[in-house]
Amino acid sequence: MEPTSPVIARRRVLVGVAGAGAVGLLTQFAARGAGATPEAAKALLQTLAKGEPKEGRIAIRAPEIAENGNAVPVTVAVESPMTDKDHVTAIHVVADGNPNPGVASFTLTPLSGKAEVQIRVRMASTQKIVAVAQMSDGSLWTATREVKVTIGGCGG
Amino acid sequence: MADDIKPRIRVPANPKKGEVIEVKTLITHPMETGQRKDAAGATIPRKIVNTMTVTFNGKPVFQAKLEPAISANPYLSFHMRAEESGTLSFTWKDDDGAEYKAEQKIAVT
């Protein structure tokens, strides 16, 4: 990821001003080359929950701008009565801008009462979080949310 | 530094029968990603808590599979319907095979 335009280069300088070492981190990631892409994240979701999920029923709550990518609070809430007949069986969370796309997978039961989970996620850069919920009737639902990260949370 | 690893759990003190409560958990753990390098340039091996399993009176309630993208000292909160008094049992599994356990009693009113 060489600086391709003056705009990006300038932005990088600004990031450097905002937090010492951030530029170093970015170049470190650039040198590593490997990283999750939206395609990789999608492919991983297919292995976790096969099928075509529909948009909706999930709310992802996360800050719009995270100053520190080391621990970004992310809440995933799925609309469901959580009864024996109709409940969420699994929630999968991936992110498309980290070295690896996987974040976490949760298995829920009717005992959960409410399908809402909070975690803290490392984010290397500004990226999208995608959640997929699997219901007891087999249907899949998905939602996406972008989080802007000022200082990446990885390495250092 | 296995002796530094300490789980913490917080639940409401006296939930009403049938109430859905939030269970907050945190375990002190470095969650080493396997991406970092030490001063000599050698990769620091991955060491994370990869699974958390929760049962209530022996029945499964919740399970989480975690990846290196989870922050150090992983905080995790989930919900549970408190139908009866009993004991919540937590097990965290480490990459190195170690297991950390904790229990939390719940008394419904």
Domains located in chain B, CATH noted? 2-106 (2.60.40.10)
CATH 2.60.40.2470 domain extents, chain A: 35-151
H/E segment holding residue A96: none
Q: Read off the pLDDT of residues A16-68 as tens digits, 9 standing for 90 and up.
A: 444 444 444 444 444 344 467 887 778 787 778 777 888 888 999 999 988 88
pLDDT band of A1, cuts 50, 70, 90: very low
Residue A2: helix, strand or coil by DSSP?
Answer: coil
Do B76 and A117 count as a contact with CB atoms less than 8 A apart? yes
Whether domain A35-151 has CATH 1.10.10.350: no
Contact between A141 and A89 under an 8 Å Cβ cutoff? The reply is no
Residue-level pLDDT at A11: 53
Residue of B nearest to A101 (CA): B69
Q: Read off the pLDDT of residues A67-109 as tens digits, 9 standing for 90 and up.
A: 888 889 999 999 988 888 889 999 999 988 888 888 999 999 9
Residues sharing a CB contact under 8 Å with residue B51, sequence separation 6 or more, in sequence order? B63, B64, B65, B66, B91, B92, B93
Q: Read off the pLDDT of residues A8-28 as tens digits, 9 standing for 90 and up.
A: 555 554 444 444 444 444 444
What are the average pLDDT values for consecutive 10-residue runs of chain B, which has 109 residues? 76 89 91 84 86 91 90 91 90 90 90
- How distant is the Cα of A140 from the closest Cα of chain B, in angstroms? 19
To the nearest 10 degrees (0 to 180), the angle between helices A22-32 and A6-18 is: 130
Choose the closest CB to B62 out of A72, A107, A123. Answer: A107
Residues sharing a CB contact under 8 Å with residue B108, sequence separation 6 or more, in sequence order? B14, B15, B16, B17, B19, B82, B83, B84, B85
- How distant is the Cα of A74 from the closest Cα of chain B, in angstroms? 10
Name the burial class of residue A65, with classes exposed (0-12), middle (13-18) and buried (19+) by CB atoms within 10 angstroms of its CB.
exposed
